[in-house]
Structure 1
Amino acid sequence: MNTVLNRAQRRAERKGRKGAQDLTLQKVAGSCALFAQLAMCRGYGAGPIIGDTTNIHQSAENALSRSIVNVRAALQRLMDGVSTEIDDPLIVSEALGVASIRAIDIGGPDAGENPLLHALQDGQRVLQSVKTRHERFGKLEVISSEAERLKYAVDLYVDVIQNSTPQQMEDAMKTRLRMREMAKAGKLAS
Structure 2
Amino acid sequence: MINNVVLVGRLTKDPDLRFTHSGSAVATFTLAVNRNFTNANGNREADFINCVIWRKPAETMANYARKGTLLGVTGRIQTRNYENQQGQRVFVTEVVCENFQLLESRATAEQRNNSIGNDQPNSFQNNQPNSNYDTHTQRHSQDNKCMPDFARSSDPFVGSGSTIDISDDDLPF
Fold-level similarity (TM above 0.5): no
Name the structure where strand makes up a greater proportion of residues. 2
TM-score (norm 2): 0.24
**Higher Cα Rg, which structure:** 1
Name the structure where helix makes up a greater proportion of residues. 1
